[in-house]
Chain A
Amino acid sequence: MSTTDTHSQRAPVPPGWPGDDPTLPDDLDVLGMRWWWWVGRRTRARRPDALEGPGSRAGAGRSGGGRAEDGGTGDWTADDVVDVADDEPDLDGDDLGAPRWRWADRLRWRGAPPGDREPPDDDEVAAVDDDDDLVAGVQPAGRVLVVLVATLVLALLVNVDHLVARVEAGPPSDARDRALSVLRPVQDVGNALQLTRVRDALDALRGDGDDDRAREAGGARGTDDAADSTSRGGGGDEREPGGEEAAGDEDGLRTPTADDPLRVWVGGDFMAQAIGRSLAAAGESTGVVETEVRYEAASGLTRPDYFDWPAAVDEALDDHDPEVVVLVVGVNDAQGIVRPDGTPAQVDEPGWAEEYGRRVGELMDRLRGDGRIVVWIGPPPMREPGYSARMARVAAIHAEQAAPRPWVHVVDLAQVVGGPDGGYTEAVADPSSAEPVTVRQPDGIHLTDAGGDLVAAHVMDLLRTQVDLSGGARGDG
Chain B
Amino acid sequence: MQFPTVAFAIFFLAAFVANWLLRPHPLVWRATMIAVSLYFCAWVDVRFALVVLGVAALNWVAAAAAHRAMPAGDPTPASRRIVRAAVAADVAVLAGLAYRGFLVESVTGALARLGWAGSEPVVEVVVPVGISIYVLHAIGYVVDVGRDEVEPVAFADLLLYLCFFPHLVAGPVVRVDELVPQFHERPDPRRVPATDAFVLVGSGLVKAVVIAPWLAEQLVDPAFAAPAEAGGLELLVAAYGVAVLVYAAFSGATDIAIGCALLLGIEYPRAFDAPFAALSVRDFWDRWNLTVSHWLRDYVYVPLGGSRRGRHLRPRNVMVTMVVGGLWYGAGWNFALWGVVHGVYVIVEQAAAARAERREPTALLPTALTAPLHWFVTFHLVCLAFVVYRAGSVGDAAEVLARVATLAPGGAGLVTPLVLAVIGATVASHFVPTEVTYGARARFSALAPAAQVAVLAAGLTVIAALGPEGPLPFGRLPF
Partners in one complex: yes
A contact set with B: CB distance below 8 Å: 1-7, 9-14, 21-24, 30-32, 37-42, 44-45, 47-48, 63, 97, 99-100, 103-104, 107, 131, 133-152, 154-156, 158-160, 162-163, 165-167, 170, 173, 175-176, 178-179, 182-183, 198-199, 202-203, 206, 209, 212-213, 216, 224-227
B191 lies within 8 A of A159 (CB): no
Majority SS at the chain B contact face: helix
A136 lies within 8 A of B196 (CB): yes
- What per-residue 1/0 map shows which CB atoms of B445-479 lie under 8 Å from chain A? 11111101110110011101110111110010000
Kindly identify which residue among B185, B186, B449, B469 contacts A147, using a CB–CB cutoff of 8 Å.
B449
Which 8 A-B pairs rank lowest in CB-CB distance, beginning with the nearest?
A: A137-B195, A179-B3, A162-B471, A137-B445, A175-B2, A163-B471, A154-B457, A45-B190
- What per-residue 1/0 map shows which CB atoms of B265-282 lie under 8 Å from chain A? 001111011000000000
Complex-state Cα separation, A73 to B449, whole angstroms: 19
B185 lies within 8 A of A12 (CB): yes
Complex-state Cα separation, A40 to B452, whole angstroms: 10
Q: Least Cβ distance of A362 to chain B in Å?
A: 31
B193 lies within 8 A of A202 (CB): no
Q: Does B442 reach chain A (CB closer than 8 Å)?
A: yes
Kindly identify which residue among B441, B447, B469 contacts A213, using a CB–CB cutoff of 8 Å.
B469
* Residues A63 and B190 in contact in the complex (CB < 8 Å), given A3-B196, A100-B439, A107-B442: yes
Q: Least Cβ distance of A376 to chain B in Å?
A: 29
Q: Does B375 reach chain A (CB closer than 8 Å)?
A: no
Interface pick from B5-13, B36-44, B158-166, B387-395? B5-13
B190 lies within 8 A of A30 (CB): yes
**New A-B contacts (16) at CB < 8 Å, excluding given A134-B445, A137-B444, A167-B2:** A1-B272, A63-B190, A100-B438, A107-B442, A137-B198, A138-B191, A141-B192, A144-B263, A145-B16, A146-B449, A149-B13, A155-B472, A158-B461, A166-B115, A178-B2, A209-B465
A13 lies within 8 A of B186 (CB): yes
A166 lies within 8 A of B13 (CB): no
Complex-state Cα separation, A176 to B439, whole angstroms: 44
B465 lies within 8 A of A163 (CB): no
* Residues A3 and B270 in contact in the complex (CB < 8 Å), given A45-B191, A99-B439, A166-B115: yes
| Closest A residue by C-beta to B444 | A137
A6 lies within 8 A of B193 (CB): yes
B270 lies within 8 A of A176 (CB): no
Chain A residues in 8 Å Cβ range of B258: 1, 3
Within residues 146 to 204 of chain B, which ones have a CB less than 8 A from any CB in chain A? Answer: 185-198, 200
Complex-state Cα separation, A140 to B449, whole angstroms: 12
Sample of 20 A–B contacts (CB below 8 Å):
A2-B434, A5-B193, A6-B196, A7-B267, A21-B24, A22-B186, A30-B189, A38-B448, A45-B191, A47-B191, A107-B446, A134-B442, A138-B194, A139-B194, A140-B190, A140-B191, A143-B194, A154-B453, A224-B222, A227-B413
Q: Does B360 reach chain A (CB closer than 8 Å)?
A: no
Chain A residues in 8 Å Cβ range of B443: 103, 107
